[in-house]
Amino acid sequence: MIKNALGDMVGAAGDFLRRHLKSKAVREAEKRRQDRRKQLAWQKAKRASMLGGASAVGAFGYAMTVTPMAMAAVAAGAAAVVGMAASGLWQGRKPATFSREELAALPCQAEEWLLEQRLLLPDSVSPTLDAILVNLGDLPGHLAEADPRSTLAWDARKLIGEHLPNLVEAWCKLPAVTRERDPETRRRFEDGLGTIAEEIARLTEEASRDERMRVETHGRFLDARYRDGLSDP
């Protein structure tokens, strides 16, 4: 009984730390989420102004400056839209119907979903989760340039849109006592999430290959143009 009580206390302490002492990766992911929600709210206001006239813009400006509660409601609505979009994309869409815009949005949707599940994950996977969040933050711009029919796009869909949520959902649906006191199940989850993190890192490296090649090309040109020139008599 004492051992179980101590385990509960340790678990509660870990939950408190994760809520209030967030890693840099989590803070940056939350900032990206906030920026996306503001952008979505602004886009909705612009559409409303086109349909209803300038009064909609004025009302939005008032909500931005005078009524933080109203703005919070707008942000919550934006979050719901993002959540619904993510769940729709994670239903096994066929490659032929998966657009370039949806491909670029996939890491953002996965990031938002992971932030919501974060407190249900064990402390031991925090470094792995941080690595995943960092790569999810880097991927949208690169995937926006990818062919939706390419192997890269297919790998992103399967890895980010299926394997990652399936594993995390399976863990979160376990009874709390199993998550806390079954070391073998926890080890398998840790190993699985680690594999996904490694594959997302590989995907990010592959998606940024053209940019890396451009940097290397410019670097070689500058070396040849300036440093090699300094050695000439």
Residues 23-80: tens digit of each pLDDT: 999 999 999 999 999 988 888 888 887 876 655 555 455 445 544 443 443 343 344 3
Predicted local distance difference test score (pLDDT) of residue 164: 97
Which of 89, 117, 139 is at the close of a domain?
89
Same structural domain for residues 80 and 179?
no
Q: Is residue 167 part of a domain?
A: yes
CA distance 34 to 29: 9
Region for residue 53 given its phi and psi (left: phi exceeds 0; alpha: psi -120 to 50; beta: otherwise): left
3-state secondary structure of 148: coil
Report how many domains make up the chain. 2
Write the single-letter amino acid at 54.
Answer: A
Give every residue of the chain whose pLDDT is below 70, as ranges. Answer: 1-20, 52-97, 228-233
Same structural domain for residues 50 and 83?
yes
Same structural domain for residues 41 and 127?
no
Q: Is residue 39 part of a domain?
A: yes
Predicted local distance difference test score (pLDDT) of residue 1: 56
Q: Is residue 13 part of a domain?
A: no
- Residue matched to tokens 């399936």: 166
Same structural domain for residues 70 and 117?
no
Predicted local distance difference test score (pLDDT) of residue 116: 94
Same structural domain for residues 102 and 78?
no
Same structural domain for residues 106 and 200?
yes
Same structural domain for residues 113 and 208?
yes
Q: Is residue 18 part of a domain?
A: no
Which of 61, 89, 117 is at the close of a domain?
89
Instruction: Give 178's contacts (C-beta < 8 A, 6+ positions apart).
Output: 185
Predicted local distance difference test score (pLDDT) of residue 20: 64
Which is nearest to 197 in space by CA: 87, 110, 99? 110
Same structural domain for residues 116 and 216?
yes
Same structural domain for residues 74 and 176?
no
Same structural domain for residues 106 and 73?
no
Q: What is the mean pLDDT of the chain?
A: 79
Instruction: Give 75's contacts (C-beta < 8 A, 6+ positions apart).
Output: 34, 37, 38, 41
Domain that holds residue 71: 24-89
Same structural domain for residues 118 and 228?
yes
